[in-house]
Amino acid sequence: MQQLLAKYGKITDLLEEEAETFRSLASTKREFEAGEVLVASELQSPDQLYIVDDGRLFASMELRNGERAITRLYFPGDIMGTANIPFDHATQTITANTASSMYIFPRSNLVDAFTRLPRIAAIFYTFAALENAILNDRLVSIGRTRGRARLASLLLEIAAREHLVECDDPNICRPALTQEQIGDAIGLTTVQVSRLFKELTTQKLIKRRDGNVELLDPTALQDLGLFRNRYEDLDLDWFEEDF
């Protein structure tokens, strides 16, 4: 919950009442094991929203032909399940990729929160819009750049997201994903991901050591991956003034 408040507090100063609402919104906490599936696509009515307390998770969609795509990575402080809200069945599967703990609340809790505190509604809306912008970026990356650029972009995104809450070296990231999962996230096969890792490594752009990836030349990677850190660009003055 600290991460969430930190993340939201980063964009606007929360009133005590609002912070309290966030806390009460998510009263139930649950642990999940690595590999456990929280929301099974198509199977489940998406009544729940989740706020990540700790761990790494991802949202994915299966295709009829057995292939899988990973549409989103989740870090502590993230709200999960947004894309399922307006539907009568889940549109994506959420999987805990490491041991994780999270706060759970039914989407109907939002009704009360939105009614009592319109700024909460604005915050949720804003984060949905942010998620939108990030999805746009990924669409561009996957649709219009080659594998090298896509991998660079993903690594930068992971580094940026990790750095947002865990304040360690911004140039070291821990994908916590197999190469198959990375492929699912950027639209490539395992084989190709492996080759690209090798390529970036021999070009001294990155360095790998037991699951960590060090970004040796962040500037070059940013040029290559055309990456924009959307979290840096946030601006919420528009709803500050009048509420």
**Contact pick of 98, 194, 222, 229 for DNA (by CB under 7 A):** 194
Q: Is 61 in the site for its own copies (CB under 8 A)?
A: yes
The two tokens of residue 1 are: 């919950």
- Give the bridge partners for 79, in sequence order: 51
Q: Does 171 bind DNA (CB under 7 A)?
A: no
Token pair 């998406």 is found at 46
Give dist(CA 195, CA 176) in Å, integer.
18
Residue 218 engages DNA in binding (rule: CB under 7 A): no
198: contact with DNA by CB under 7 A: yes
Structural contact between residues 57 and 38, judged by C-beta atoms closer than 8 angstroms: yes
Quote the least distance from Cβ 44 to DNA, whole Å. Answer: 24
Least gap, CB of 109 to DNA (angstroms) = 35
State yes or no: residue 36 binds DNA (CB under 7 A): no
Residue with smaller CB distance to DNA, 30 or 198 = 198
Our CB check for its own copies shows the closer of 68 and 195 to be 68
What are the φ/ψ torsions at residue 100 (nearest 5 degrees)? -140, 155
Tokens of 49: 């929203």
d(CA 132, CA 129): 5
Asked if 16 interacts with its own copies (CB under 8 A), we say: no
What is the CB-side half-sphere exposure of residue 159 using CA atoms within 13 A?
24
Handedness of CA 151, 152, 157, 159 (dihedral sign): positive
Crossing angle of helices 118-144 and 109-116, in 10° steps, is: 120
- Determine the interface stretch with DNA among 72-80, 83-91, 117-125, 194-202 (rule: CB under 7 A): 194-202
**Nearest approach, Cβ of residue 73 and DNA (Å):** 15
Sign of CA dihedral 127, 59, 75, 215: negative
* In the complex, minimum distance from the CB of residue 173 to DNA, in angstroms, rounded to a whole number: 14
**What is the residue type of 186?**
I
Look-up: residue for tokens 């969430």?
A: 4
Residues 100-159 that bind its own copies (CB under 8 A): 107-108, 110-112, 114-115, 118, 121-122, 124-133, 135-140, 142-145
Kindly list the residues in this chain that would bind its own copies in the complex (CB under 8 A). 11, 47, 59, 61, 63-64, 67-69, 71-72, 82-89, 91-92, 107-108, 110-112, 114-115, 118, 121-122, 124-133, 135-140, 142-145, 184, 186-187, 223, 226, 228, 230, 233-236, 238-239, 241-243
Q: Return residues touching DNA (CB under 7 A).
A: 146-148, 178-180, 183, 187-192, 194-198, 208, 210
